[in-house]
Amino acid sequence: MPLLYLAVMSRTECQNCHRPSVVCYCDLLPELRNQWPVRILQESGESRHPLNTAGIAALSLGDCQLYTVEAGSADFQDPVDWQREAPALIYPGEQAEPVEALAEAPQRPLVFVDANWRKSRRLLHEMPWLSALPRFAIHDAPPSRYRIRSSRVADALSTLEAIVHTLELVEKVPGRYAPMLDVMDWMVDQQIRYMGKEVYQRNYRQ
């Protein structure tokens, strides 16, 4: 079932978060200084999604860069600074080590792919440099709080939840990045309010 877009009274868009002004979350954003740099490769379809969570991380974290890529174009090359800093890819796989293993390693950029599972696998296939990065997977994460989007993948997390969980593990600071999840909760609450509880329960409630 496709996601029901917000039916808002105003067409004005916030120039910071690119959300309709009536559901702008900028005043709620925390200012957080992350020790481990975050790099997000966002598939172009996700950048247009009204409830994408990667934007919350990009606007909240002091060291976070978000790059938009197009699945099928393969036009995004490995940045020079990534080569120098030996980034780690946070993505599941048979050869992936647990994220906890990074906690004792030197700091380096953490790369997250913001896309659905099909397109994320495609991006890895089209970008050999990306799939060749050392890979680390999240295990035993808390249940997802992203209540408005379904996934066929068990224990799936939103991009923001993956970032929060990973940073808190590698920096050993439980709860430090949770304020970003509060912003996500507010954003989802607003979407449910606009679509109506009946529509939400029919299409998303498990």
Distance between CA 157 and CA 60 in Å, rounded?
19
Q: What's the pLDDT score for residue 4?
A: 43
Give the pLDDT confidence of 62-101 residue by residue, as tens digits: 999 999 887 666 566 655 566 678 899 999 988 899 999 9
pLDDT grade for 196, boundaries at 50, 70 and 90: low
The structure's pTM equals 0.85
Euclidean distance between the first and final Cα of the chain, in Å?
A: 14
Give the pLDDT confidence of 9-50 residue by residue, as tens digits: 446 888 898 888 888 999 999 999 999 999 999 988 877 777
Distance between CA 126 and CA 43 in Å, rounded?
13
Q: What's the pLDDT score for residue 91?
A: 95
Nearest partner of 91 among 120, 70, 71, judged by Cα: 120
Domains of the chain with bracketed CATH? 33-139+155-177 (3.40.1280)
